[in-house]
Amino acid sequence: MLGGGTFTSQNKKIPGTYINFVSAAKAEGVLSERGIVAYAVNLDWGNDTEVFQISKEEFQRNSLSLLGYEYAAEALKPFRDLFRHATRVLLYRLNPGTKATNNYATAKYSGTRGNSLKVVIGTNPDEEDRWDVSLYLGTTLVDEQRGIASAQNLVDNDYVVYQKDATLTQTAGTLLAGGTNGEVTGEKHKSFLNAIEGYHYHILACDSMDEPTKEYYVAFTRRLREELGIKFQTVLFGKAADYEGIINVKNNATLIPWVAGAQAGCGINKSITNMTYDGELTIKDTYSQAKLEDSIEAGEFVFHKVGQEYRILVDINSKTSVTPEKGQDFKKNQTIRILDQIGNDVASIFNNKYNGKIANDVSGRVSFWSDLVTYFKQLVSIRAIEDFDSQDVEVLPGTEKTDVIANSVITPVSSMEKLYMTVIVQ
């Protein structure tokens, strides 16, 4: 049989046909989607051992099993505010406690909401030696299993783990009891930040009023942004951090979920300056023109009243100082969104396509340069940056053979905020 197959170099000894099938070179330039919030919360129900993710659709469909309440419940108002503009949330319970229980079942999660679970057992109408077992959360039927011979045959569900050695007897309704919430402490927030470090998100939210806890969030944000290159912003209440990674909400801590969702869901080619608050809270704050100007100078993210609506005054972060390295533009969240997006996306392109896979030679660096140029052109096409020239990007060999140096010059676009108009009357 003659030789055949693929080739790396032209060094075959046996006559035959050697064919390589390769894809045409295609530049990478994928803009990752936004909308993810990381948030540590005080809950009556829910996963109490790890970070858990909920999408907007899951929240709308499965809030009862995931968070313990129906979608329209008063207790879920903060989540409805958050999901006005966020697409996903990474949640962490700050207050795991004790699971409710009775002779037939133990709640799946700890918390006081488990005390509203009720087991109803009745004789099966078709087979008198079998049982129908129903489970209610409040007045809502959440699980029903018919024709059960014994407790061993009961299937655990999203709400309870059944006691398989229980003796089933008829009951009009036996409530679970003993469910408690734990205490929220600064150490619980630290545990959350340790757990969330390896996840991808755009906004980290904290509604704590405890100053040491807020300081810890600021330090965490600085460390991840500056030492690890993980780009996100943190939304806090009443924290003058003078840092582009911190958004300092002024009006009320209850606005944190809505602000976090709005910031996470905002495109990099947009600003939420003058955006109308469309949540369910009642904002009562009114500020004078002088106070609003002071808020801008202080790096405060403030809502102000316009007619019967409340709107965001300016989409700014807490940065107030200006340096040669970080000028006025770094106070704008739109600028930070663009820069963070570039940082995250370029890292993704390099790690997924080049890191450990492509040779660090002229051809490899040209390929990386081409991908960067394609990516920046995408940003131009969505009007996130302007005045871009491919010559503004260079990819060079580094000191070590494995090192690559990439330099680029970009001009972020800002949304219109002020109009200065002169009308000449003739």
Instruction: State residue 65's pLDDT score.
Output: 97
Lowest mean pLDDT among 11-25, 286-300, 388-402: 11-25
- pLDDT at position 30, please? 61
pTM, full prediction: 0.87
How confident is the model at residue 4, as a pLDDT? 47
Q: How far apart are CA 194 and CA 204, in angstroms?
A: 13
- Tell me how far apart the alpha carbons of residues 309 and 319 are, in angstroms, rounded to a whole number: 27
Main-chain dihedrals φ then ψ at residue 126, nearest 5 degrees = -95, -30
Measure the CA–CA gap between 112 and 110, rounded to whole angstroms: 7
As a whole number, mean pLDDT of residues 390-402 equals 91
Share of the chain above pLDDT 90, in %: 78
**CATH for 36-94+183-312, among 1.10.760.10, 3.40.50.300, 3.40.50.11790, 3.40.50.150?**
3.40.50.11790
Measured CA distances, 255 to 222, 285, 303 (Å): 23, 12, 10
Q: Look at residue 21 in the predicted model and tell me its pLDDT.
A: 40
CA 372 to CA 349: how far, in whole Å?
9
Q: Enumerate the H helices of 111-156 as residue ranges.
A: none
Band of residue 106 on the pLDDT scale cut at 50, 70, 90? very high
Q: Residue 205 pairs with which residues in a beta bridge?
A: 39, 235
Rounded to the nearest integer, the mean pLDDT of the chain is: 91
- Joined tokens for residue 4: 């055949």
User: How far apart, in whole angstroms, are the C-alpha atoms of residue 28 and residue 368?
Assistant: 9
Cβ neighbours of 221 (radius 10 Å): 23
Contact 384, 334 (CB under 8 A): no
Taking the C-alpha atoms of residue 341 and residue 317, their distance in angstroms, rounded to an integer, is: 16
Alpha carbons 416 and 271: distance in angstroms, whole number: 9
Spatial CA neighbour of 408 closest among 399, 395, 417:
395
Domain segments of the chain: what residues?
A: 36-94+183-312, 99-175
Residue 418 has pLDDT above 90, yes or no: no
- The SS3 of residue 368 is helix
Q: Which of 70-74, 153-157, 360-364 has the lowest mean pLDDT?
A: 360-364
Specify whether the CB–CB gap between 360 and 401 falls below 8 A. Answer: yes
Residues 328-381 have pLDDT tens digits of: 999 999 999 999 999 888 988 998 999 999 999 999 999 999 999 999 999 999
Round to whole Å and give the CA distance between 322 and 331: 9
- Identify the three-state secondary structure at position 145: strand
- Residue 325: pLDDT band (50, 70, 90) is confident
Top-confidence residue, 56 or 286 = 56
**Among candidate residues 312, 203, 186, the one with its CA nearest the CA of residue 249:** 312
Q: Which of 368, 301, 291 is nearest to 336 (CA)?
A: 301
Of the pLDDT bands very low, low, confident and very high (cuts 50, 70, 90), residue 197 is very high
65: closest CA among 74, 76, 50, 49? 76
Dihedral of alpha carbons 314, 315, 318, 319, sign: negative
Q: Which pLDDT score, from 0 to 100, does residue 417 have?
A: 65
Distance from CA of residue 58 to its chain's centroid? 14
Distance CA 237, CA 246 (A): 10
Range list of β-strands (E), 79-166: 88-93, 99-101, 105-110, 117-123, 131-137, 140-148, 160-162
Q: What is the model's pLDDT at position 232? A: 96
Supply the pLDDT for residue 20. Answer: 42
Average pLDDT (231-239) is 97
Whether domain 99-175 has CATH 3.30.360.10: the reply is no
Q: From CA 175, how far away is CA 177, in angstroms rounded?
A: 6
